[in-house]
Amino acid sequence: MALRTPFFTLALQIPFRSSSSFSLTVPAKTFRRPLSHSTISSSSAPANPPPPPPTLLPTVLFVPPGVEPHQVNESMVLPGSNIVIGPYAGDARIKGVEFVKSSGRARDCPKDDRPEFAILGRSNVGKSSLINALVRKKEIALTSKKPGKTQLINHFLVNKSWYLVDLPGYGFAKASEAAKMDWSSFTKGYFLNRDTLVAVLLLIDASVPPQKIDLDCANWLGRNNIPITFVFTKCDKMKVAKGKRPDENIKDFQEIIRQNYKIHPPWIMTSSVTGTGRDELLLHMSQLRNYWDQ
């Protein structure tokens, strides 16, 4: 079985508190020039500079195995994300998807060696909608305006080779105490023991300000060394009556995450309504999968 090894040492660090500030914030969106040496070095660089030194870029960009940070140029960064595409990226097309089963407990989940991605996030963040958007099927995963729609662990087999896993949301205020307890024991059972878990796609609603419960969840996953990709949802909601725009909320969220993570995990902006980020996310997942598979 493949191991979760060096790929994720760049992607995810066990959270730590640091007094240093990560001021080199270059959102990939605004990252429109090739990274020349002068872009990343100080003005006191010698006239004949040595080969590029280790840069601070991985604090901003997610640089996969097979790519040296100094090799990164604009064309390698997925739009609307901090994700660099490297040699492990492969065929990201969806050729078929089938619902396999719903499980009430982690130990009832499919028992085979296929890699899987867990879709996690607050109730109503858009987990089921993201699955539908990724596989381009309207209602393979059931969605609802009311939070708490997905109650079980649902496995969807993609291309007969890997799983997307739709999970119940957390943070549903109206859930009973018993349901909240169940959710918490489920997280332990599933996330800590699922050997085939390639990464968690942690969905964050970009139409609202950073929520403590999401940050707590990210920190819990980080502490347990579980690889995360932050998937910002509802990025189409540009016109909010009050409050900030999605891009501003995302920036605020990242500022907080940066205080806990030595190196920022991969992140990507999506909308299940417009399809923004769909192809990019699939490509990112292909490189995670191919690395895991080798």
Ligand X SMILES: Nc1nc2c(ncn2[C@@H]2O[C@H](COP(=O)(O)OP(=O)(O)OP(=O)(O)O)[C@@H](O)[C@H]2O)c(=O)[nH]1
- Binding-site ranges for ligand X (CB under 6 A): 121, 123-129, 143-145, 147-150, 168-169, 233-234, 236-237, 271-273
- Residue 272: contacted member of ligand X, Mg ion, none (CB under 5 to 8 Å, by partner type): ligand X
Residue closer to ligand X, measured from CB, 76 or 133: 133
* Distance in Å, CB of 226 to ligand X, minimum: 19
Residue with smallest beta-carbon separation from Mg ion: 150
Question: What value does the CA radius of gyration of the chain take, rounded to a whole number of Å?
Answer: 19
Contacts of 272 (CB under 8 A, 6+ apart): 126, 129, 130, 132, 133, 233, 234
Say whether residue 155 binds Mg ion (CB under 5 A).
Answer: no
- Residue 147: contacted member of Mg ion, ligand X, none (CB under 5 to 8 Å, by partner type): ligand X
Residue closer to ligand X, measured from CB, 9 or 144: 144
CA 176 to chain centre: 29
- Residue 286: contacted member of ligand X, Mg ion, none (CB under 5 to 8 Å, by partner type): none
* Distance in Å, CB of 118 to Mg ion, minimum: 13
Say whether residue 132 binds Mg ion (CB under 5 A).
Answer: no
Residue closer to Mg ion, measured from CB, 4 or 127: 127
* Distance in Å, CB of 174 to ligand X, minimum: 11
Cβ atoms of 245 and 206 within 8 Å: the answer is no
Residue with smallest beta-carbon separation from ligand X: 169
Residue closer to ligand X, measured from CB, 84 or 208: 208
* Distance in Å, CB of 161 to ligand X, minimum: 24
* DSSP output for the chain: -----HHHHHH-------SS-------GGG--S---HHHHS-TT--SS--SPPPPSGGGTSB--TT--GGG--GGGBPTTBSBBP-TT--------EEEEEEESSGGGS--S---EEEEEEBTTSSHHHHHHHHHT-TTSS---SSS----SEEEEEETTTEEEEE---B--TTS-HHHHHHHHHHHHHHHHH-TTEEEEEEEEETTS---HHHHHHHHHHHHTT--EEEEEE-TT----SSS--HHHHHHHHHHHHHHH-SSPPPEEE--TTT-TTHHHHHHHHHHHHHHHH-
Q: How many residues bind Mg ion (CB under 5 A)?
A: 4
Q: How far apart are CA 58 and CA 181, in angstroms?
A: 37
* Distance in Å, CB of 276 to ligand X, minimum: 8
- Binding Mg ion (rule: CB under 5 A), the pick from 55, 81, 132, 150 is 150
- Binding Mg ion (rule: CB under 5 A), the pick from 55, 82, 128, 272 is 128
- Residue 82: contacted member of Mg ion, ligand X, none (CB under 5 to 8 Å, by partner type): none
Residue closer to Mg ion, measured from CB, 76 or 119: 119
- Residue 254: contacted member of Mg ion, ligand X, none (CB under 5 to 8 Å, by partner type): none
Residues that bind Mg ion (CB under 5 A): 127-128, 149-150
